[in-house]
Structure 1
Amino acid sequence: MPIWKDIEKKQFSPIYLLYGTEAFLINETKQKLIQSVLTEEEMDFNFSVYDLEEMPVETAIEEAETFPFMGEKKLVILHNPVFLTAERSKDKVDHNVKKLEEYLANPAPYTILVVAAPYEKLDERKKITKLLKKSAAVMEANKLNDKDLKIWLRGRAAANQVQIDEEALDHFLVIAGTDLMMLASELDKLSLYAQDEQRITVEVVDKLTARSLEQDIFALVDRVVTGKVEEAFRIYYDLLKLNEEPIKILAVIANQFRLIYQTKELARKGYGQQQMASFLKVHPFRVKLAAGQSRNFSDEQLAAIIMLLADSDLQMKTSGMAKPLIVEMFLFKLQSLMKKTG
C-alpha cells in the first residue's frame, strides 16, 4: 500500500480519503495514522472522531480548524459520509457540505483530516466527491486481487521481521481463506513461531494455520477429484468432530460446485478471472481456485454432481435418515461418478 509507506515515513497528507468495502484495510490505515501522528499524551487532546450519521460535517470542520492543544498536529476522522454516494440520504442531520468544500480548498496545516467512507463506490458526479479526490491522498479499500493479496501478506510478514516462502504463501491462502482479519491474525501467529528461523515454510503453515470451513471443503473436494478418498473422509470426520452440522457441510460443498460450474461457464464466454470475481461477487482468489478445479470436470459430470447435491439436500430436509450418513453417501456417489466418467 503506497499510502502506508508515506505514513510510516511521517510524510503526511493534510487530507485522506479511505473508501471501499474492505473494512480491515480502512481500519489498519486509521491505526497507522494514529500511531504515526500522535503520541499517547496527545491522544486525549488532539484526536477526534465524528460519525456523520449523527453529527453535521461543519462541526467536524470547526474542530479541524481549531489549533492543537499540546503537540504540533491533530487528527480528525470523519465516518460515514453518505453525502459522497448516490444513495438517498438517510442522515438524521443536515450537512453544510459547502463548509467541507471551503476547507478542502484551504486545509489547516496543523490538522490531518481523514474521511472514511465504507462504500463500494462514490458518486463521481458530485462536486464534493471530485474536490475530495483531487485534494486528498486516496486509498481504495476494496477486495484485493491475487497479486495484491500476496504483496500485502509479504509486507506484513516483513513488518514482523520474517519472510514467507512462495510455496508457503500459496498454501497459506488455500488453507486460511481470504478474510483479511483472519489472514492477519494467522500470519502474525506464524511469524511469532518462526522468529528464530525468520522464515515461514509450508510445514509451518500446515502445522499452525487454522482452517476455515470453506477451505476444508475445498480440500475435501480436491481429495475426491484426485482419488484420495480416504483423506476426503478424514477431513469430513474431522469436521463432524468440530461439531460442524452435516447440513451446513453439504451446503458449502454445493456452493463450491456451483462456483466451479459458474467459472467454467464464464471462462467459456471469455471472462477473465478478475471479471468473474466481479460478476460473481466473490474474492478473486476463490475464483482462481475454482477455475483450477473446474479443469477436472466435464460439463456432464458437473450436471450430474449438481443433481446429486439437490437429491442429498432433499433427503436431508425430508427423510428420516441420519444426516451425517447422507453426506457420506454423496461422497461415495461422487467418487463413483469420477471413476465412471473420468
Structure 2
Amino acid sequence: MDEVKQIVADINKGQIKPIYLLIGDEPYYIDAISTYIEKNVLTEAEKGFNQMILYGRDVAIDDIVSNAKRYPMMAERQVVIVKEAQDLARTIDNLLAYAKNPQPSTVLVLNYKYKKFDKRKAVYKAIKKTGVVYESKKLYDNKVAEWIRRVLAGKNYTISPKAAQMLVEFLGNDLSKINNELEKLKIVLPEGTQISAEHIEENIGISKDYNNFELRKAIGDRDSLKAFKIVKYFADNPKDNPMVVTVSLLFSFFSQLLHYHGLHDKNPRNVASALKINPYFVNEYVLAARNFPMRKVSEVIAVLREFDVKGKGVNSNSVSQGDLLKELMVRLLA
C-alpha cells in the first residue's frame, strides 16, 4: 500500500514516468493505479484526443508502439493504457526497443495481471530503468484484516476485530471483492462509524452467529450445542458455506493451536506475534488450548485432513456435505 501511495504522490507532483508496468496476482492495486492515471493525468478536455484504452487480446505490440509514438494534440502528454496486457506474453519482448527509448510525452500503462512476468527479460529491465514497475502480490490471509482496518482508517471508519474477521472468512483475500463490500457500507454508514458484526450481517448478508468464525470458537470452547447449530445452518445453506472452506479454516486454526502449544513464552503479546493474529483473539486460543491438549490437536489435524479428502468426493460414498460436517463435529468434539 505504501508503494502505491508513493506512485500516486509522484504523479500528483508531476513526476510522471513514460511507462508503468503493473504486474502481479492481486488485481486490486493494478486497477487502482491504472484508474488513477486514467482519471488524473489529463484534463477532461485533453482526454478526447489524447487518451486511449487498448486491450491485449485485440492488439499487437506494434500497434501499442505506434500509438505510444504519436505526439499529443493540444496537450503536454497523451495516455495509452493497455488492459489485460498478459495476453501479449508471447510477444512482449518486441516492446524492448521502445522501452529503452520511450516517447517522453506519452504515459504508457501496461496492466499485466495474474501471469508471472519473467524479471530476467531485457524488456523488464529496460522498463524498470526508464519507467516504473509495480508488483501487486496477493496478501496472506492473516494480513487481510489489517488491510481492511488501514483502508477504513483512511476513510475515517473503524471496524471491530470480529467484523473484520467475518469479512476475511467470507470473502478470502480477494481485495477487490472486499473493497466493493466496504464501499457498500460507506454508503449506508456515516463517517466515524465503527463497523460491527451487526453492520456486516445487516448490509452484506453474512450471519454474525452462523459463520466459520463462530464455529471455530464453539469448537475451541467445546460448546457442542452451538457447534451443531452452526453446522445445521451450513447444511441448510451449502452454497454460502462450502465444506472445503470450513475445513480449511479449521485446519488453519488447529495448526496455529499446535504452534501455541509449542511456545515457551505464552505472554499475550508474544502469542499474537508468533501466531500472526490480532491480540483480541489471543484468549480464544488460550481457552482452546485448555480444551485441546497438544496430543488431541494432532489427532484433530489428522481428522481434518481425512475430511478434506472426503469433502472433495474421495471415499465419501455420495454422502452430503452437510452430513459430512455433522460427522466431523462428532469426531472433533468426542
TM-score of the aligned structures, taking structure 1 as reference length: 0.69
> Equivalent residues in 2 for 1:1-342 (5 A)?
1=1, 2-7=3-8, 10-11=12-13, 12-79=16-83, 89=90, 96-103=94-101, 107-119=102-114, 121-145=116-140, 149=144, 152-159=147-154, 161-165=155-159, 167=161, 169=164, 172-174=167-169, 176-195=171-190, 197-201=192-196, 203-205=198-200, 207-211=202-206, 216-242=211-237, 244=239, 249-259=242-252, 296=292, 298-307=297-306, 316-318=316-318, 324-336=322-334
SS of residue matched to 1:50: strand
1:141 positional shift: 0.6
Cα distance change on mapping 1:62 and 1:155 into 2, 3 Å: farther
Cα distance change on mapping 1:266 and 1:205 into 2, 3 Å: same
1:250 positional shift: 3.6
- Separation in 2 of the partners of 1:150 and 1:221? 17
Contact residue 79 and residue 108 of structure 2 kept, 8 A:
yes
1:266 positional shift: 9.6
Q: Letter of the aligned partner of 2:30 in structure 1?
A: I
SS of residue matched to 2:317: helix
Root-mean-square deviation (CA), in Å? 4.2
TM-score of the aligned structures, taking structure 2 as reference length: 0.70
SS of residue matched to 2:211: helix
Contact residue 52 and residue 81 of structure 1 kept, 8 A:
yes
- Separation in 1 of the partners of 2:87 and 2:189? 46
- Separation in 1 of the partners of 2:252 and 2:213? 11
Cα distance change on mapping 1:70 and 1:181 into 2, 3 Å: same
Q: Deviations over 1:254-305 (max 9, x none)?
A: 4345556777899999xxxxxxxxxxxxxx99xxx9xx79965521232245
SS of residue matched to 1:68: coil
- Separation in 1 of the partners of 2:74 and 2:183? 35
Contact residue 49 and residue 77 of structure 1 kept, 8 A:
yes
Cross-structure match for 1:275 = none
- Separation in 2 of the partners of 1:19 and 1:331? 43
Cα distance change on mapping 1:223 and 1:42 into 2, 3 Å: farther
Q: How many residues align?
A: 302
1:326 positional shift: 4.5
Contact residue 61 and residue 95 of structure 2 kept, 8 A:
yes
5+ residue gaps, structure 1, are: 270-283, 337-342
- Separation in 1 of the partners of 2:115 and 2:255? 24
Q: Letter of the aligned partner of 1:255 in structure 2?
A: S
Percent identical pairs in the alignment equals: 22
SS of residue matched to 1:38: coil
